[in-house]
Homo-oligomer: A and B are copies of this chain.
Amino acid sequence: MKKLINAPDDVVTEALHGMAAAHPDLLTVHFDPTYVIRADGVPDGKVALLSGGGSGHEPMHNGFVGQGMLDGACPGEVFTSPTPDQMQAATEALDAGAGVLHIVKNYTGDVMNFEMAAELAEASEVEVQSVVVNDDVAVEDSTYTAGRRGVGGTVLIEKICGAAADRGHTLDEVADLARRCNAEVRSMGMALTSCTVPTAGEPTFDLGEDEMEIGIGIHGEPGRQRMAVEPADQVVERLMEPILSDLPFKDGDDVLLFVNSMGGTPLIEVYLAYRKAQEIAEQHGLRVVRNLVGPYITSLEMAGLSITMLRMDDDLVDLWDAPVHTPALRWGV
Interface residues of A (CB under 8 A from B): 2-7, 11-12, 14-19, 21-22, 55-56, 58-59, 63, 78, 192-193, 209-210, 212, 229, 231-233, 235, 263-276, 278-279, 291, 293, 295, 298, 300-301, 303-305, 325, 327, 330-333
Residues on B with C-beta less than 8 A from A22 are: 271, 274, 278, 291, 293
Which one of B2, B14, B209, B266 contacts A272 once the chains associate, using CB atoms below 8 Å?
A: B14
Q: What is the copy number of this chain in the assembly? A: 2
Are A266 and B298 also in contact (CB < 8 A) when A192-B4, A272-B11, A305-B4 are? yes
Residues on B with C-beta less than 8 A from A78 are: 268
Which one of B7, B235, B291 contacts A4 once the chains associate, using CB atoms below 8 Å?
A: B235
A266 near B331 with CB under 8 A, answer: no
Residues on B with C-beta less than 8 A from A266 are: 56, 58, 263, 298, 300-301
Interface centre among A16, A275, A304 (most CB of B within 10 A): A275
A2-B229, A58-B267 known; 15 new pairs, CB 8 Å cut-off, are A2-B210, A2-B303, A7-B231, A11-B268, A15-B268, A18-B275, A21-B275, A21-B278, A21-B279, A22-B293, A59-B267, A263-B267, A267-B295, A268-B300, A331-B333
Which one of B19, B59, B265, B330 contacts A301 once the chains associate, using CB atoms below 8 Å?
A: B265
Are A274 and B18 also in contact (CB < 8 A) when A266-B298, A267-B298, A303-B301 are? yes
Bound-state CA distance A10–B133 (Å) is 37
A268 near B6 with CB under 8 A, answer: no
Minimum-distance CB pairs A-B, first 10: A18-B271, A18-B275, A58-B267, A18-B274, A2-B192, A4-B269, A15-B271, A6-B231, A15-B272, A15-B268
Which one of B269, B274, B330 contacts A5 once the chains associate, using CB atoms below 8 Å?
A: B269
Are A3 and B269 also in contact (CB < 8 A) when A301-B303, A330-B331 are? yes
Residues on B with C-beta less than 8 A from A210 are: 2
Bound-state CA distance A192–B264 (Å) is 13
Bound-state CA distance A333–B291 (Å) is 17
A232 near B4 with CB under 8 A, answer: yes
CB distance from A5 to the nearest CB of B (A): 5
Bound-state CA distance A55–B272 (Å) is 13
Bound-state CA distance A4–B268 (Å) is 9
Bound-state CA distance A231–B14 (Å) is 13
Bound-state CA distance A265–B55 (Å) is 15
Are A2 and B267 also in contact (CB < 8 A) when A278-B21, A303-B301, A332-B333 are? no
CB distance from A136 to the nearest CB of B (A): 19
